Homo-oligomer: A and B are copies of this chain.
């Protein structure tokens, strides 16, 4: 089936959202933990977290300012901090439930049954049930005028990863943390490793690399 600009435009709003959201491929599944200055916590699922660079260690996410994600955006700007918590197989239904439009008085942590965890002096709440947890400081907001979205750039200040899933070369076995991946708006998948591949060079055949 072929679609062009016209036939995409003619899809109903919901159908177009499902369709277009499918097309970028598999997405990361993360819970963004924030609080306001009164330490009232907020939790929201995002499928748009991307790697931006490793020195300095930066990740970015895309926020639609008129959606439920706006509490997250407000809190990040207000406090300067947020957490990124990997969604795993055990909590993916609760993670999805954070996308409901709860009022500002309700914390999604309580509403969906996930546990806030405060780590030393870090000013934003982590998700205790997540196996990989990152503490982020807000670095920059870039307004994307073309569709009124915001890109939030954060620097990784804190990482918790269990010892036994970090390989000696720095690779983190996401599969051993049961991290999941998202397709489109509402679908969750576990993964199965095909292979780790060697660094590509023009005159060399790709090989499979063994990790523990």
Interface size on A, residues (CB 8 A): 110
Q: Given A97-B206, A99-B200: A181 and B26 within 8 A (CB)?
A: yes
Cβ-neighbour of A51 out of B24, B158, B175 (below 8 A): B24
Q: How far is the CB of A25 from chain B (nearest CB, A)?
A: 3
Cβ-neighbour of A153 out of B60, B146, B153, B202 (below 8 A): B146
The prevalent SS among residues of A at the interface is: mixed
Q: Given A98-B200, A111-B202, A189-B192: A25 and B30 within 8 A (CB)?
A: yes
Of the candidates A17, A160, A198, the one having the most CB atoms from chain B within 10 angstroms of its own CB is A17
28 CB-based A-B contacts, threshold 8 Å: A4-B157, A15-B170, A16-B170, A17-B55, A18-B170, A19-B170, A20-B53, A21-B54, A23-B51, A23-B59, A23-B172, A24-B28, A26-B191, A48-B50, A52-B147, A52-B149, A99-B200, A100-B201, A100-B202, A100-B204, A101-B202, A106-B202, A142-B142, A144-B153, A151-B151, A183-B191, A187-B195, A188-B194
Query: How far, in angstroms, from A30 to B183 measured CA to CA in the complex?
Result: 14
Cβ-neighbour of A197 out of B20, B146, B188 (below 8 A): B188
Return chain B residues, CB-CB under 8 Å to A55.
Answer: 13, 16-17, 20
